[in-house]
Amino acid sequence: MQLAVLILEDERPVREALARDLGHFGGHVRIEVAEDVPDAWAVIDELDRDGDRLALVLADHRLPGTSGVDFLVLLLDDPRTVHTRKVLVTGQADQQDTIRAVNDAGLDRYIPKPWNPDELRSVVRDQLTDHVIEHRLDPLPHLQALDAARVMPLLRTRGDR
């Protein structure tokens, strides 16, 4: 089982820049991209088929069709994504949208555009770590994508074998 990060962003250059900035997570987590919400659900179906786990979504708000915030709210209704951590990466969410994202979608982080690549990586690492700790997942297969010092306590309960 791999952990997956989904980048939902309609503008191709921005999408590619986000994926590039997360490049060195590749090999340790699965990075997927989607250009709109139907595309995002297709990715979620594919992850499910492969037995992988969507740990984190980085979503833009203003998208053609369904908005990013509406998508984040919908994630809570699907058993495959109810535990997915949610980050908005946007410059265009107004106060109403932001309030809805926090209150109804359980938004975990808000990254304003333009983002700082180091900060983006550190948010992703933190969110993945929180996800692993919260659900007591085995951290070892994903350790290099996580804050290793923070997940060490999870290993204590394992016992020798």
Partner 1 sequence: MPTDVHHPRSTLPRPTHLQLAGLVVGLIAFLVPLLVDIPGLEPAGQRMLAIFLLAIVLWVTEAVPLVATAMLVILLEVLMISDQALVALPEDVLAASDYFAALADPVIVLFLGGFLIADGAAKFDLDRNLAAVMLRPFAGNARRSVLGLMLITAMLSMFVSNTATTATMFAVVIPILAVLPAGPARTGLALAIPVAANVGGIGTPVGSPPNAIALGALEARGEGVSFLGWMLLAVPLMVVVLLFAWWLLTRRYIAPDTPMALDLSSSFDRSPAAIVFYVVAGATVLLWLTEPLHGISSSTVGFVPVVALLATQVMGGDDIKALQWPVLWLVAGGIALGAGIGATGLDTWLLGLVAWEALPLTLLVLLLVAVGLGLSTVISNSATANLLVPLSLSLATGLPIDATAIGVIVALACALAMALPISTPPNAVAYATGEVDTRAMATNGLLVGGFGAVLLATVLPRVWDRLGLL
Question: Which positions lie near partner 1, rule CB under 8 A?
Answer: 51, 76-80, 82-83, 139-141, 143-144, 148-149, 152-161
CB of 154 to partner 1, least distance (A): 8
Complex with partner 1: residue 13 or 159, whichever CB lies closer: 159
CA distance 20 to 114: 15
CB of 95 to partner 1, least distance (A): 21
CB of 58 to partner 1, least distance (A): 21
Complex with partner 1: residue 80 or 109, whichever CB lies closer: 80
Q: Are 28 and 22 in contact (CB under 8 A)?
A: no
Complex with partner 1: residue 42 or 148, whichever CB lies closer: 148
Complex with partner 1: residue 117 or 141, whichever CB lies closer: 141
Amino acid at 101: A
CB of 78 to partner 1, least distance (A): 8
SS3 150: helix
CA distance 71 to 57: 10
- The Cα-based distances of 14 to 24, 42, 49, 70 in angstroms read 17, 20, 28, 20
DSSP code of 26? B
